[in-house]
A = this chain, B = another copy of it.
Amino acid sequence: MARWEPNARERLAKAALELFRERGFDEAAVAEIAARAGLTERTFFRYFADKREVLFGGASELEERLAAALAGAPADLRPLDAVAVALEATSSLFEERRAFAKARQAIVAAHPALRERELIKLALLGDVMAAALRRRGVADAAASLAGETGIAVFKLAFERWLGDERKRDLAHHVRESLAELKAVAGAEVGRLAKRRSAAARGRR
């Protein structure tokens, strides 16, 4: 019975974001979302368990990407540098979705319960990274710290990526935000580190 609809997921997501923005998340009904997308409620529920999932779906893809990138990162990286490599590896998941991500962020930011859901989702991502670090042999506490700190870096990078008029990719902003975290933590960055890595290149 179900007719295949081209781009049904994207059409539904776009319609949902429009309605969330126009009428507020709580007021927008699934029936309206489906109608605006020119689809049925039944089709909506084939893609999303509920309207919140329009905003919070895709977490498992992100988690898998992070875990795989951490498993494959060079063994001699420090925990937080490995996390940064993994965060950079998610960049391509987002590049085509800047407009969606921006609209989504505005809706989440305006709604306390959605902001809480976002915090919880990010904390879970931190746990996923910490678990992947433990599988790399990183000690328990260090893995937790690197996972949680990685989320702080990711949040800042994502925010800057959303607002970047020069459209540099997320990976660029991850690197910048990581450098900033290191400066905040009193890490060895800047001139000294650059001189050292230049010296290391010279020795090769």
Question: Which residues of A are interface residues toward B (Cβ below 8 A)?
Answer: 78-81, 116, 119-120, 123, 141-142, 144-146, 148-149, 151-153, 155-156, 160, 177, 180-188
A149/B146 in contact, CB under 8 A: no
| Residues of chain B with a CB closer than 8 A to A156's CB | 141, 144-145
- CA A181 – CA B79 in complex, angstroms? 10
Given A152-B148, A187-B186, A188-B188: A180 and B120 interface contact (C-beta under 8 Å): no
Residues B185 and A141 in contact, CB atoms below 8 Å apart: no
Residues in B whose Cβ lies below 8 Å from that of A81: 186
When distances are taken between beta carbons in the complex, the residues of chain B under 8 Å from A144 are: 152, 155-156
Q: Report whether A148 and B145 are in contact in the complex, using a CB–CB cutoff of 8 Å.
A: no
* A188 to B156 Cα, complex, angstroms: 23
> A145–B187 contact, CB under 8 A?
no
Nearest chain B CB to A132 CB, angstrom units = 14
Q: Which of B80, B152, B180 contacts A184 (CB 8 A)?
A: B80
Question: CB distance A186 to B120 under 8 Å?
Answer: no
Q: Is there an interface contact between A145 and B188, defined as CB atoms closer than 8 Å?
A: no
Instruction: For A187, give its contact among B151, B180, B182 (CB under 8 Å).
Output: B182
Q: CB distance B152 to A183 under 8 Å? A: no
Chain B CB within 10 A, most for which of A152, A156, A180: A152
A184 and B119 contacting across the interface, CB-CB below 8 Å = no
CB distance from A98 to the nearest CB of B (A): 20
Q: Given the known inter-chain contacts A142-B180, A156-B144, please indicate yes or no for A185 contacting B80, CB distance below 8 A.
A: yes
Is there an interface contact between A145 and B184, defined as CB atoms closer than 8 Å? Answer: yes
A151 / chain B contacts, CB cutoff of 8 Å: 148
A185: which B residues are within 8 A, CB to CB? 78, 80, 146, 149, 181-182, 185, 187
| Cα distance, A144 to B180, chains bound together (Å) | 11
